[in-house]
């Protein structure tokens, strides 16, 4: 199918074409699709589906969750369009790359545009169980909403493109990596391909694997709690397992949860963190020092003076080397750049001790290389022109044999060991496929350093030739015209070389003798369990799962594990029963296990009632069910009224377990069955003698329709405990009074002789609790829908006097069962964690959901005492159950009414369960006082505009600028000169946006967005005002005293000396993209990227640009050699005008519109940014999409 046939018609306003896709026309199993989603910001549905498109003879469609699939990120998936109609057992393997294309900017090149794409690639086996696959965190919502990114075009559209490669190999689904290659892969937990690639690389360094095996572990340890044991277990399984190995035990030993498994990190960072942690674990063992022995090399940083005998050296160790890719053709060029000598001369001379400033050579050389050399290629870097992270896809070659002794050993010091031959063989190539916002990792490995290469792509391992492993991962080709260059997002990211002379030691034999016996036995047990589960799964269609509840089970659970209903089915053992087994045969199997004869076994099915309780059904199973199969019993529907008129939920066909309650009929009732047989069954007189005998022997007495089976619990208010007593089969018209003796008999020693008792009915507990006191004289059958019937629960309790309760401890809070059950319903165990250590449980408290905010803080303060004495100094933060991290901003003082409100959630995933975690922080003042203050950060800058210190200022919410500066002066102390006035203003993206007068209130102050700055006002600028005094119409200060009333003499003198026509202007640092300044016309309107600290500057009425330059250089203390590279410009209305040294500057500003923002006029200082600080946009770009902003951490 042609590309045109697959494209959706583009909406108006879409600019540019998508980059060409490789080999689309040549491969019928590969194709692309482009989808323009209109009205993006107005979409209200949770899911948007594309039209169907066909690639590789298979119908597909795209699914988008515009506001996220239970996450704060746009989710994008590829789905099989005909999944519901495809034949049973269908499957299709495909590799696909999803891309969100931003709107193209004016004069943006193809390379610049493509660098802003968000692209992610992944392989997947599509089948009936997993018919869609993609990325739940494709692009953070904050990135989509940021207009600077242009992901949502100006016409409110979003463009999504996909490239799909379908594998037609019939064996793709049944491919056996172990059989085909001798190796197995690792399962991807969600976004752990980066970890899988690294683990495979480390595993195939046999010396490393052997060292891991020799780390001491014991049989008593659990892999999920021990990194050494988890890694040993993983490596051993990879060595011997027949299929792909799971990594969950290892990630759990890291302290990661499910959320971490869906966050893609950088493989280089994981390598460093993992090796550091293993190095710690190896200390004090027989393998201590293995990491250093394998991976550690050494460099020497030197500074060598040219004219005097002085040399400074500093030795450093490294475990990996980061090599530049940009501007380098290959690895050798990167090493050349690594050891390149820097000349220190001119204004950059070196101050040598005892010799003063000297010309010098500065550089780095290697003293030794490690046996295993890890090279991390700097494919990602910060682009200052774009204010964003970009991926360098340029072609970068790496050899199969790397000779680091080449060039007469130019990379090594003269003292390096000449007996070591630094000739390396390529061992592995870790590839990153995708862009800066995420992608997919896989590895090419040559385990023996000769022979075949193998590709390890998560679960799948394939044999590859050297071209696929090496040449195809150099990056984008060259030698072609730029406009025809083929986009290639897959390239080498990390290289591992092994020194040829160390090959025999590194590629050593690793056998059973290196593996602890307990590890072998553990794997054997796990494999047996896995085989059993596989067998069970394969035979599942032949069996029915049965959960059989007994009275003993209910007695063990009620009052400890549960308090409502009769049993927690999750705690009942599941037994597999052949689905064709009859009910009569099943009863015989129960007889064999329990010794209870079939004629004393009465069974009740558990069903769901409409009030969200699960109780036994109205009537038990009878002799009519004897020949019914277990499968048919499971699938029976119930839609009639439940006991006492409680309606049963309409049960659909159930393919879950068959849940049964076994009631053991008393011996007396069983004996009497012969006499009641004819009453029990209408056609009993037609039974033969043999049939009658068989029924009496195998069938329990039937329950007449006039009888009900009531369950009883016992609440003891003296010790506030609840227990299950058993059940009574009684007439439907019975009353509690009429059953008093039976109830007493069932209660046994719980009720003393003739002790009065009370009774309640437990009706429901979810979502609301309903427990009603029972009228002892009211028949169970009365009351219509409120009648008491089979499966209903009565709670019996003794009536105790106040004196009796005092005698028994004196601390009874709940004298009645309904009060106790209400308390149980309300109580909540909460884990508190410090906000600064959000992974560590600090305090666990048993609280109640209805507890007020104040009571929660008091309880927590008591638990933290004596560290916390004032509960009001505690500030709480809610918990995100999905990410296992703090959620949103902290709660305000009494920001919630109850504990239940603090544990509430809003998203669909989180609403399925209540969290039991809250975070706290201890403030240095009561929270109510803090909330009455405005708290924000202010940077104090010196006269050369450089920031001196950042101070957190707290002032009353109704304070003004003068109040802020009064507090600031106290905090700064001697840093503010005596008698100096302060100026207070806000900046954003290195531009000044507002100067605050003394009486400006702080309603709109927000240091999360704006940067606030204070500085001393130079003497020659005082006439233009400050933020502590008020100017009158003539420009004279009305308030010339400081906060202590002292007159400022300097201010008055300076004002009189100032000449008319002087101006106070704003000056900003900036740079422009060279490509956008090819002509004067384009340079005039080229985009300016601002950086550094903006500042105010006074210019004289007749001062020339040259004179202004001299004073600016002096103010900023810029070296002369550097300052000569600076260019001065006048900016107004979006245009940049270069300034000539001999012209007067003031006229440019005299008629200016004195405004901030887009229409402002300012003096522009154009020069390179030598000390770049990444903006918030760049930081987000570096971490967004598939890469988490959090650093890789291994907690275990």
- What number of other Cβ atoms are within 10 A of residue 650's Cβ? 10
Question: Three-class SS of residue 31?
Answer: strand
Under a CB-based contact definition with an 8 Å cutoff, are residues 465 and 453 in contact? yes
**Residues β-bridged to residue 160:** 35, 100
1146 vs 74: CA distance, rounded Å: 51
Let me know if 440 is a catalytic residue.
Answer: yes
Cis status, amide bond into 832, omega within 30 of 0:
no
Q: What is the dihedral of CA 989, 992, 993, 999, to 10 degrees?
A: 130
Q: Kindly state the tokens that stand for 1113.
A: 């250089």
By DSSP bridging, strand 827-834 and strand 917-922 are: parallel
With b meaning 16 or more CB within 10 Å and e meaning fewer, what string describes 86-118? beeebbbbbbbbbbbbbbbeeebeebbbbbbbb
484 vs 478: CA distance, rounded Å: 10
1109 vs 378: CA distance, rounded Å: 39
Let me know if 306 is a catalytic residue.
Answer: no
How is residue 618 annotated by DSSP? S
Burial (Cβ within 10 Å: 0-12, 13-18, ≥19) of residue 4: exposed
584 vs 591: CA distance, rounded Å: 11
Residues in the chain, overall count: 1196
With b meaning 16 or more CB within 10 Å and e meaning fewer, what string describes 553-584? bbeebbbeebbbbbbbeeebeebebbbebbbb
Of 444, 449, 355, 439, the C-alpha closest to 402 is 449
Which of 214, 376, 427, 440 is catalytic? The answer is 440
By DSSP bridging, strand 1063-1072 and strand 1088-1099 are: antiparallel
Under a CB-based contact definition with an 8 Å cutoff, are residues 76 and 160 in contact? yes
Residues 6+ away with beta carbon under 8 Å from 414: none
Q: Kindly state the tokens that stand for 582.
A: 């009859």
286 vs 976: CA distance, rounded Å: 60
Of 172, 173, 161, the C-alpha closest to 53 is 161
**Residues β-bridged to residue 442:** 431
Which of 193, 305, 800, 1088 is catalytic? The answer is 193
1042 vs 258: CA distance, rounded Å: 59
3-state DSSP of 1005-1041 = CCCCCCEEEEEECCHHHHHHCCCCCCECCCCCECCCE
Q: Kindly state the tokens that stand for 1037.
A: 């200060």
Does an H or E element contain 1109, and which?
A: helix 1105-1116
Question: Three-class SS of residue 860?
Answer: helix
H helices of 127-205, where?
141-145, 177-181, 193-203
Distances (CA, A) of 305 to 311, 313, 337, 363, 798: 6, 12, 21, 12, 97
Dihedral sign from CA coordinates of 934, 935, 936, 939: positive
276 vs 1194: CA distance, rounded Å: 10
How is residue 783 annotated by DSSP? T
Q: Name the residues annotated as catalytic.
A: 193, 440
């Amino acid at each position: 199918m042609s590309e045109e046939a697959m494209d959706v018609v583009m909406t108006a306003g879409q600019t540019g074409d998508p980059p060409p896709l490789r080999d689309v026309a040549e491969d019928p199993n590969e194709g692309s699709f482009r989808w323009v989603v209109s009205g993006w910001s107005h979409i209200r549905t949770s899911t948007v589906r594309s039209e169907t498109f066909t690639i590789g003879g298979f119908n597909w469609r795209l699914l988008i969750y515009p506001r996220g699939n239970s996450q704060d990120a746009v989710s994008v998936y590829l789905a099989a369009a005909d999944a519901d109609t495809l034949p049973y057992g269908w499957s299709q393997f495909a590799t696909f790359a999803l891309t969100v294309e931003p709107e193209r900017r004016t004069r943006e090149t193809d390379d610049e545009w493509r660098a802003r794409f968000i692209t992610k690639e992944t392989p997947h086996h599509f089948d009936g169980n997993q018919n869609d696959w993609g990325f739940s965190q494709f692009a953070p919502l904050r990135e989509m909403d940021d207009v600077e990114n242009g992901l949502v075009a100006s016409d409110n559209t979003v463009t999504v493109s996909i490239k799909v490669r379908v594998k037609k190999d019939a064996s793709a689904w049944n491919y056996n990596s172990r059989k085909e290659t001798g190796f197995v892969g690792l399962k991807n937990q969600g976004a752990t391909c980066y970890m899988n690639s690294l683990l495979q690389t480390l595993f195939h360094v046999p010396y490393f694997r052997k060292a891991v095996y020799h780390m001491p572990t014991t049989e008593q340890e659990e892999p999920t709690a021990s990194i050494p044991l988890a890694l040993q277990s993983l490596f051993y399984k990879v060595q011997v397992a027949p299929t792909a190995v799971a990594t969950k035990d290892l990630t759990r030993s890291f302290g990661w949860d499910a959320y971490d498994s869906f966050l893609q990190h950088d493989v280089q960072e994981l390598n460093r963190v993992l090796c550091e942690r293993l190095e710690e674990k190896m200390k004090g063992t027989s393998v201590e020092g293995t990491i250093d022995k394998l991976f550690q090399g050494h460099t020497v940083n030197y500074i060598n003076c040219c004219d005097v005998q002085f040399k400074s050296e500093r030795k450093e160790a490294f475990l990996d080397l980061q090599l530049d890719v940009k501007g380098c053709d290959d690895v050798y060029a990167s090493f050349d750049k690594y050891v390149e000598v820097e000349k220190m001369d001119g204004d950059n001379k070196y101050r040598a001790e005892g010799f003063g400033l000297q010309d010098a050579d500065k550089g780095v050389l290697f003293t030794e290389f490690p046996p295993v050399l890890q090279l991390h290629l700097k494919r990602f870097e910060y682009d200052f022109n774009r204010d964003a992270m970009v991926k360098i896809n340029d072609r970068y070659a790496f050899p199969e044999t790397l000779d680091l002794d080449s060039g007469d050993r130019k990379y090594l010091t003269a003292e390096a060991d000449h007996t070591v031959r630094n000739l390396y063989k390529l061992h592995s190539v870790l590839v990153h496929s995708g862009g800066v916002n995420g992608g997919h990792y896989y590895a090419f490995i040559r385990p023996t350093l000769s022979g075949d290469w193998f590709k390890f792509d998560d679960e799948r391992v394939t044999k590859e030739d050297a071209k696929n492993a090496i040449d195809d991962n150099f990056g984008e080709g060259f030698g072609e015209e730029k406009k025809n260059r083929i986009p290639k997002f897959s390239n080498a990211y990390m290289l591992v070389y092994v020194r040829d002379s160390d090959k025999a030691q590194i590629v050593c034999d690793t056998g059973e003798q290196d593996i602890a016996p307990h590890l072998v036995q553990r794997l054997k047990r796990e494999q047996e369990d896995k085989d059993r589960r596989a067998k069970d799964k394969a035979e599942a269609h032949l069996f029915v799962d049965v959960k059989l509840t007994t009275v003993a089970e209910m007695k063990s659970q009620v009052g400890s594990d549960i308090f409502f209903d009769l049993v927690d089915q999750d705690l009942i053992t599941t037994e597999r029963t052949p689905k064709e087994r009859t009910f009569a045969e099943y009863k015989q199997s129960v007889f064999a296990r329990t010794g209870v004869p079939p004629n004393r076994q009465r069974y009740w099915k558990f069903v769901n009632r409409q009030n969200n309780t699960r109780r036994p059904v109205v009537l038990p199973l009878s002799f009519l069910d004897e020949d019914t199969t277990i499968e048919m019993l499971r699938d029976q529907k119930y839609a009639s009224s439940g006991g006492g008129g409680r309606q049963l939920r309409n049960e659909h066909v159930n393919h879950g377990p068959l849940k049964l309650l076994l009631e053991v009929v008393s011996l007396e009732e069983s004996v009497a069955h012969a006499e009641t047989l004819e009453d029990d069954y209408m056609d009993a007189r037609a039974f033969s003698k043999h049939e009658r005998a068989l029924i009496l022997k195998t069938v329990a007495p039937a329950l007449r329709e006039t009888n009900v089976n009531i369950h009883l619990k016992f609440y003891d208010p003296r010790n506030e405990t609840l227990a299950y007593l058993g059940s009574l089969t009684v007439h439907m018209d019975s009353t509690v009074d009429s059953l008093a003796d039976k109830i007493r008999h069932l209660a046994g020693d719980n009720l003393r002789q003739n002790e009065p008792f009370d009774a309640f009915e437990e009706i429901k507990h979810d979502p609301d609790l309903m427990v009603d006191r029972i009228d002892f004289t009211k028949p169970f059958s009365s009351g219509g829908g409120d009648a008491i019937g089979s499966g209903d629960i009565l709670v019996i309790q003794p009536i105790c006097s106040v004196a009796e309760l005092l005698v028994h401890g004196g601390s009874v809070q709940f004298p009645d069962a309904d009060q106790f059950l209400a308390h149980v319903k309300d109580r909540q165990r909460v884990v508190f964690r410090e906000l600064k250590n959000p992974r560590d449980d600090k305090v666990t408290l048993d609280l109640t959901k209805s507890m007020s905010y104040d009571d929660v803080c008091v309880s927590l303060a008591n638990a933290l005492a004596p560290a916390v004495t004032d509960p009001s100094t505690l500030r709480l933060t809610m918990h995100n159950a999905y990410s296992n991290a703090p959620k949103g901003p902290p709660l305000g003082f009494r920001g919630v009414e109850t504990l239940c409100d603090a544990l509430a959630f809003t998203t669909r995933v989180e609403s399925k369960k209540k969290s039991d975690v809250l975070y706290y922080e201890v403030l240095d003042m009561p929270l109510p006082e803090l909330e009455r203050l405005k708290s924000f950060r202010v940077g104090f800058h010196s006269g050369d505009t450089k920031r001196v210190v950042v101070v957190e200022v707290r002032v009353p919410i109704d304070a003004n600028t003068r109040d802020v500066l009064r507090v600031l002066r106290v905090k700064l102390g001697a840093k503010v000169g005596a008698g100096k006035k302060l100026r207070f203003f806000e900046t954003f993206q290195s531009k000044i946006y507002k100067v605050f007068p003394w009486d400006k209130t702080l309603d709109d102050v927000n240091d999360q967005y704006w940067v606030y700055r204070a500085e001393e006002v130079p003497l020659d600028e005082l006439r233009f005002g400050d933020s502590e005094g008020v100017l009158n119409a003539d420009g004279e200060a009305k308030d010339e005293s400081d906060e202590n009333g002292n007159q400022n003499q300097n201010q008055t003198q300076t004002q009189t000396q100032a000449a008319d026509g002087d101006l106070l202007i704003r000056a900003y640092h900036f740079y422009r993209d060279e490509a956008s300044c090819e002509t004067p016309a384009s340079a005039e309107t080229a985009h300016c990227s601002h950086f550094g600290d903006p500042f105010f500057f006074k210019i004289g009425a007749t001062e020339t640009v040259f004179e202004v330059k001299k004073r600016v250089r002096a103010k900023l203390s810029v070296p002369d050699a550097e300052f000569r590279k600076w260019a001065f410009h006048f900016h107004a209305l979006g245009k940049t005008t270069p300034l000539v040294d001999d012209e007067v500057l003031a006229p440019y500003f005299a008629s200016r519109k004195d405004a901030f923002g887009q229409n402002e006029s300012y003096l522009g200082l154009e020069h390179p940014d030598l000390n770049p600080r990444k903006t918030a946009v760049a930081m987000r770009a570096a971490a967004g999409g598939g890469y988490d902003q959090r650093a890789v951490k291994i907690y275990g």
